[in-house]
Chains A and B, each alone.
Chain A
Amino acid sequence: MKIKVELFGMARQIAHLSQVDFEINEGGDLRDLALAMAQAYPGLCGTIIDLEGGNLVPPYIFNINGKYSVHDLTTKLNAGDSVLVFSTMIGG
């Protein structure tokens, strides 16, 4: 199934793109997506994606469809979902 990933902040700077589509298996979850992202954009590893921990590097976080930020990487995705990757460090 197709999942759209939207990148913000340093994730965007490192990958040099604002959004990209990934194909993951039906019933796949955020962990599958993180691995797909790491394979496609190795530059994200270490700064945005923590491969050993199988999660995003804090303060980066996933958010599904712009609504809810998600910590649990076993969260299932649905075809057509947009997954945001952004830093939760805000304020200015």
Chain B
Amino acid sequence: MYSYRGKLIHVDLSSRRSKVEELGPDFLKKYLGGVGLASRILYDGIKPGCDPLGEDNAIACAVGAFTGTIFPTGNKFCMATKSPLTGFLGDSLSSSYWASALKGAGYDALLVTGKAQRPTYIFIDDGEVHFRDASHLWGKACFEAEQAIREELDNQAVRVATIGLAGEKMVRYACVGNDRGRQAGRTGQGAVMGSKNLKAIAVHGNNPVNVADLRQLSAESLDLIKKAQGTATEKYRVLGTVGNVLSLNRLGVLPVRNFQQSTFEAADRVSGEYLHKYHREKTVACSDCPIGCEQVLNSREAPYDGAVVSIDYESLYALGPCCGIDNAPAIIKAAELCDKFGLDTMSAGVTIAWAMECYEKGLLTDADTDGLELRFGNHAALVGIIEKIARREGIGALLCEGTRIASKKLGRGSEEFAIHVKGLELPGYEPRGLKTYALGIAVGTRGACHNRSAAYEPDIKGKVDRFKAEKGRGILAKEQEEFATVLDSLIICKFLRGCFKDFFAEAAHFYKLATGVGMTPQELKVTGERIWALKKAFNIREGWVKEDDWLPPRLLKEPLADGPGKGVVLTEEELRMMIDDYYRAKGWTERGLIPKAKLSELGLEDIAEEIGVG
């Protein structure tokens, strides 16, 4: 089978041993790569019920069929683990040269198990695994550790995925950084690495990837690259994803002050246009990407001058409007600190917003915050609290747990405005004004995630009445999550989605050009359904129940306070109706469980025996 390596490398930190497992063509076709492959390897690699921060948890990494080829945006990897934030499957993607290096080293996937006795980093060098001491790296920032390892190995071509202080301290939403500014950002993979005393995974490999039809793949990829540099992505090249701030604000779906409002009076001061004019340093692209959406910003103003970081829309929303912050330099500084310490900007921002509301309601006082006046809009408090979270110091010892656990610990009604699904904090879109999206994130396997289910698309595109909850949204949410699953498993960047006219047909065609393996568009669609079912099965095995598919109380009790949707509500009855509709569309039971027959139909017979019903 072309393009793939057909190999998984097992690395056990406890025994300091490694072994290679062959991955057959049928298996690879069935799970594709990325999210699909990593999720299956993790499913097989850990025991149900393990402590996410214990020795028995594992980390599965997988690249895609297009990684290392000329096909654009395929240089990404998925890092999957049992999430310490959600307790369910945490699958996180990162664009990275790390992905092509792993494939160049001879592997499609990596499974890390066990726990090192002391700080360690793994170095996979052209197929060989080395365990190296990381004591001198412990405490270093993500990008400092990246560079230190390259210098230590005397090879600038080594690619490094590393944790920062937050991962070492096992902050539940610690991320994994690489390429100095890219992250496997969500669901706490960094904390899992920290729990294993694993500072970094360095890889080096230059073996070229052989594809089935190089001439045709090259020609058609070049056409796709031209499309990727066209109108559909121009906004991202010029303004970046922060170019969405003003339109989302105008639609009344920009969450503000911990989802108390959906329009921000100071949106102009944190918009993509404003940042482009006053703070843009340069535009860069991820590995193998012709789009180049990443806007590197420079704070340029005291007291935050000197901060340089790339910011996407989600980071900006979470650290900006969600915290009531309109000071762009402070947001840039806060994002830089998150990257330095290895914190997920989204969970960090939403957790701080929750704490700000607690402070304003008197549930947290100056005594709790070490004197920080943690009010909405206080940018000094925002910047000041991030290091406390990374170090688990003072108020940071509470906030490092994320909103679900922190609100349970604090209690006193603070759970009502803890904005998470299954423990994962919400992205920057107001669900009450986007009802299909509300369903999509409620049933998401990794919690509230716009990337795993872009169910806002029918709402934003006007294919449905976005303020209305109704039957029929179930099939839309199903289609969106399974489409995203295919993108995340092949792997193809979602910003390329607008460049296809018939995605499944074209993607299947490209898959054959790369791998030599034929795949019908329908087979590819079913693959998306299969992988989603696998992820759901993982969660069921970990104790998922129907009640986990739900939204935060605030979103179901309070009407929208402002914007075009002012007064719109999303009731519990409406959400329940849409979830029931979704389960029916999926062919699941009323309790959201998966029938054995359905799992068998998807080719998951072994899983059917384990968690299937009926």
Q: Interface of A with B (CB < 8 Å)? A: 6, 8-10, 12-13, 47, 57-61, 63, 65-71, 84, 86-92
Point out the residues of chain B lying under 8 angstroms from A68, CB to CB. 462, 465-466
Is B589 part of the binding interface, using a Cβ–Cβ cutoff of 8 Å?
Answer: no
Point out the residues of chain A lying under 8 angstroms from B467, CB to CB. 67
Contacts A6-B250, A63-B462, A84-B250; is A89 near B239 (CB within 8 Å)?
no
Q: Which of A6, A59, A61, A71 has the most CB of B within 10 A?
A: A59
Chain B residue nearest in CB terms to A12: B273
Task: Count B interface residues, CB 8 Å.
Answer: 42
CA A92 to CA B251, docked complex, whole Å: 17
Chain A residue nearest in CB terms to B242: A92
Neighbour of B232 across the interface among A12, A59, A65, A69, CB < 8 A: A59
Bitwise interface map of B from 233 to 276 toward A, beta carbon under 8 Å scored 1, else 0: 11110111111101110111000000000000000000001000
Is B563 part of the binding interface, using a Cβ–Cβ cutoff of 8 Å?
Answer: yes
Point out the residues of chain A lying under 8 angstroms from B236, CB to CB. 89
Point out the residues of chain A lying under 8 angstroms from B252, CB to CB. 66
Known contacts A57-B231, A61-B461, A89-B235, then 4 further A-B pairs from the complex at CB < 8 Å, ordered by chain A residue:
A66-B251, A89-B236, A90-B429, A92-B314
Chain A residue nearest in CB terms to B313: A92
Chain B residue nearest in CB terms to A50: B231
| Residues B498 and A59 in contact, CB atoms below 8 Å apart | yes
User: A7: shortest Cβ distance to chain B, in Å?
Assistant: 10
| Residues A9 and B231 in contact, CB atoms below 8 Å apart | no
User: A83: shortest Cβ distance to chain B, in Å?
Assistant: 11
Point out the residues of chain B lying under 8 angstroms from A13, CB to CB. 238-239, 273
| Residues B242 and A89 in contact, CB atoms below 8 Å apart | no
| Residues B247 and A92 in contact, CB atoms below 8 Å apart | no
| Residues B498 and A9 in contact, CB atoms below 8 Å apart | no
Point out the residues of chain B lying under 8 angstroms from A60, CB to CB. 231
| Residues B241 and A92 in contact, CB atoms below 8 Å apart | yes
CA A57 to CA B227, docked complex, whole Å: 14
Chain B residue nearest in CB terms to A66: B564
| Residues A88 and B460 in contact, CB atoms below 8 Å apart | yes
User: A4: shortest Cβ distance to chain B, in Å?
Assistant: 12
CA A74 to CA B586, docked complex, whole Å: 36
Neighbour of B243 across the interface among A9, A47, A88, CB < 8 A: A9
Neighbour of A67 across the interface among B243, B450, B461, B565, CB < 8 A: B565
Chain A residue nearest in CB terms to B564: A66
Is B456 part of the binding interface, using a Cβ–Cβ cutoff of 8 Å?
Answer: yes
| Residues A92 and B460 in contact, CB atoms below 8 Å apart | no
Is B451 part of the binding interface, using a Cβ–Cβ cutoff of 8 Å?
Answer: yes
Q: Which of B314, B457, B462, B495 has the most CB of A within 10 A?
A: B462
User: A59: shortest Cβ distance to chain B, in Å?
Assistant: 5
| Residues A89 and B233 in contact, CB atoms below 8 Å apart | yes
| Residues B247 and A84 in contact, CB atoms below 8 Å apart | yes
Q: Which of A8, A47, A59, A69 has the most CB of B within 10 A?
A: A8
Q: Interface of B with A (CB < 8 Å)? A: 231-236, 238-244, 246-248, 250-252, 273, 312-314, 428-429, 450-451, 454, 456-457, 460-462, 465-467, 494-495, 498, 563-565
Cβ contacts A to B, 23 pairs, < 8 Å = A10-B231, A12-B273, A47-B234, A59-B232, A59-B498, A60-B231, A63-B251, A65-B564, A66-B563, A66-B564, A67-B565, A68-B465, A68-B466, A71-B461, A84-B251, A89-B235, A90-B244, A90-B247, A91-B450, A91-B494, A92-B242, A92-B312, A92-B313
| Residues B234 and A10 in contact, CB atoms below 8 Å apart | yes
| Residues B456 and A90 in contact, CB atoms below 8 Å apart | yes
Point out the residues of chain B lying under 8 angstroms from A47, CB to CB. 231, 234
Q: Which of B460, B465, B495 has the most CB of A within 10 A?
A: B460
User: B93: shortest Cβ distance to chain A, in Å?
Assistant: 13
CA A12 to CA B234, docked complex, whole Å: 12
Point out the residues of chain B lying under 8 angstroms from A9, CB to CB. 235, 239, 243-244, 247
CA A57 to CA B206, docked complex, whole Å: 42
Q: Which of A58, A63, A87, A89 has the most CB of B within 10 A?
A: A89
CA A57 to CA B246, docked complex, whole Å: 20
User: B251: shortest Cβ distance to chain A, in Å?
Assistant: 6
User: B462: shortest Cβ distance to chain A, in Å?
Assistant: 3
| Residues A10 and B460 in contact, CB atoms below 8 Å apart | no
CA A91 to CA B496, docked complex, whole Å: 12
Point out the residues of chain A lying under 8 angstroms from B563, CB to CB. 66
Contacts A58-B498, A59-B232, A84-B250; is A69 near B462 (CB within 8 Å)?
yes
Point out the residues of chain B lying under 8 angstroms from A57, CB to CB. 231
CA A91 to CA B456, docked complex, whole Å: 9
| Residues A71 and B462 in contact, CB atoms below 8 Å apart | yes
CA A59 to CA B247, docked complex, whole Å: 13
CA A68 to CA B451, docked complex, whole Å: 23
User: B173: shortest Cβ distance to chain A, in Å?
Assistant: 18
CA A7 to CA B108, docked complex, whole Å: 45
| Residues B494 and A67 in contact, CB atoms below 8 Å apart | no
CA A14 to CA B165, docked complex, whole Å: 43
Point out the residues of chain A lying under 8 angstroms from B234, CB to CB. 10, 47
Point out the residues of chain A lying under 8 angstroms from B242, CB to CB. 92
CA A90 to CA B254, docked complex, whole Å: 12
CA A59 to CA B235, docked complex, whole Å: 10
| Residues B451 and A61 in contact, CB atoms below 8 Å apart | no
User: A15: shortest Cβ distance to chain B, in Å?
Assistant: 13
CA A47 to CA B428, docked complex, whole Å: 27
